[in-house]
Amino acid sequence: MEPEPDAALVAAARAALVREIDATGVWQGDPGLRAAFESVPRHLFVPYYYVNAGGGHERLWGEDPDAARRARWLRGAYADAPLATRVRDGDLLSSSSQPSLMAMMLAELDVRPGDRVLEIGAGTGYNAALLAHRLGDDHVTTVDLDPEITESARRHLAAAGYRPAVVTGDGAAGCAERAPYDRIIATCTLGSVPRSWLTQCRPGARILAPLATGLITLTVRDAEYAEGRFLHTPAYFVPLRGGSRRAPHEQHIGGLPRRALQNELFRFLLELTAGSLDPHEALALWQREGRPVRERFGITVSGPYEWAWLDDPEGPYVWPL
């Protein structure tokens, strides 16, 4: 028989995680979000995960016959850290994001009762469960390209008592049959904003997605136009797989100062302008503009055009995506 984790240990671990996130202040004024993290059992969504070990990956799982290793798995399941859940040939394919980052993103998503939410990237299903706890199963749709991921997410969700719509498909295409949406949240990095998302949103909808190494929040005006700025938070997610993935660009960074290359904000600018701005020009701009923070950058989508900008979407600093 599968060993059951001790209920008292689970409760204590989950309460400790909630206290840790609570200390960041991310859900201040949003008791519903705090209640979701208090209620949804993360360990059911990560029955196993991988940790770095001697240049490879060690698998920890909840059915390990060794009690000490099971306890280690449970502690890790409620640590405020990302967990690698799918690894193939040494490459990370899927993960459960750091809970405090998830909390921050959900707080920025700013869901209201009655909102319909589309999540791009099902992962373990944990994020969809948090949304379903807030809004109800019928108001949440999560999409992933990989049928193995959607199958396991659906299984995890059912084990935890949630049944939002879990759809296997290209996240870049959205999920038209469940539209319209008031919120779209992506848990994978975009190269550009899929136009299909705008057409599936209600006017005034919000899109929150990783792009470059940041998080962009877009307000949708209509099916042809959306605009918004980056949040201050750095964000590193696996890339979106499917129709909206931008081809990688070769960046000739030779000769750039090591200090600049080690600066996280400069790396963000390099990533955001890849293919549009020479890295040496990017360095000159970055220095001239006083090492701009992420919040000074934004994205505009207008019809077939999409561009990134610094300070003003009308220029002078704009770059096509």
Residues forming the active site? 97
Task: Quickly list DSSP for 279-308.
Answer: HHHHHHHHHHTTS--GGGEEEEEETTEEEE
User: Is residue 165 within 8 Å of 141, Cβ to Cβ?
Assistant: yes
With a CB cutoff of 8 Å and minimum separation 6, the contacts of 282 are 266, 269, 270, 273
Buried b (16+ CB within 10 A) or exposed e, 103-138: bbbbbebebeeebbbbbbbbbbbbbbbbbbbbbebe
Instruction: Determine the Cα–Cα distance for residues 215 and 309; give it in Å rounded to an integer.
Output: 14
Residue tagged 């859940």 (tokens): 85
DSSP 309: E
Burial of 314 (C-beta count, 10 Å sphere; 0-12/13-18/19+): exposed
Whether 33 and 134 have beta carbons less than 8 Å apart is answered as yes
